[in-house]
Amino acid sequence: MMIDYLTLMLINMAAGLFLLGCFVWRDLDTPGDTGRWVPAFAICGLVAAIGGFAITFTWPLPKPYSSAFGEMSVLFGVLLLGLALALAKRWELLPLAIYAVFAGAAAMLLGVRIIDLGLTAKPVLSGVGFILCGICGIFSPLVVWQNDKKGLRIIGSLVLFAASAIWALTGYLGYWMHMLVAK
């Protein structure tokens, strides 16, 4: 029997992306009281990193899925953990945003390839989810650097919310199907 906790990771990713969208929209330009975000980012980062490492090292899913979902979860998880630490210590966010460019490029590549190969039950939806996450990563240095531009932050947040919605839908549909299989 295959052990599949990808649904947990998808819902966690949806939550993390949504929280990130709220932070970018509301508090990215606020140098003061951003510490309130630390526990939420730390929780999502921890779940993503642990789940991602587990999938990356054990390959419980078919090969392309373990690689795509596991490794991207590790990158997302360590970014969220880094964000939690940076906010707690009041460190500059630009170095994390630069790291996010590389994670974002990998996510975009995977999104295009998932669509190209027709992987997952809904390849276009999954591919677009990866691509939107990739766009967020690639453009994060610009948004962090120009954090006083409310319009840019709103656009970034809307893309994060859209990616969150895609992964939430995918995860909740996965839970629905897991219950059917268990019957």
pLDDT exceeds 80 at position 32: no
User: Which CATH superfamily, name and number, covers 7-25+34-182?
Assistant: AmiS/UreI transporter (1.25.40.600)
Write out pLDDT tens, residues 73-130: 999 999 999 999 999 999 999 999 999 999 999 999 999 999 999 998 899 999 999 9
8 Å CB contact between 180 and 13:
no
d(CA 156, CA 95): 18
Tokens 């295959």 locate to: 2
Given this model, what pLDDT does residue 133 score? 98
Given this model, what pLDDT does residue 60 score? 82
Q: How confident is the model at residue 2 (pLDDT cuts 50, 70, 90)?
A: low
Percent of the chain predicted with pLDDT > 90? 81
Q: How many CB atoms neighbour CB 94 within 10 A?
A: 14
Given this model, what pLDDT does residue 23 score? 97
The per-residue DSSP string of the chain comes to -----HHHHHHHHHHHHHHHHHHHHHTTT-SSS-GGGHHHHHHHHHHHHHHHHHHHHH--S-HHHIIIIIHHHHHHHHHHHHHHHHHHHT--SHHHHHHHHHHHHHHHHHHHHHHHHT-SSSHHHHHHHHHHHHHHHHHHHHHHHTTT-HHHHHHHHHHHHHHHHHHHHHHHHHHHHHHHHH-
pTM, full prediction = 0.94
Give the N- to C-terminal CA distance of the chain in Å, as an integer.
14
Write out pLDDT tens, residues 49-86: 999 999 999 888 887 888 899 999 999 999 999 999 99
Given this model, what pLDDT does residue 1 score? 42
Tell which wins on pLDDT, 159 or 62. 159
d(CA 129, CA 63): 19
Q: How confident is the model at residue 173 (pLDDT cuts 50, 70, 90)?
A: very high
d(CA 71, CA 56): 6
pLDDT exceeds 90 at position 183: no
In the predicted model, what is the mean pLDDT of the chain? 93
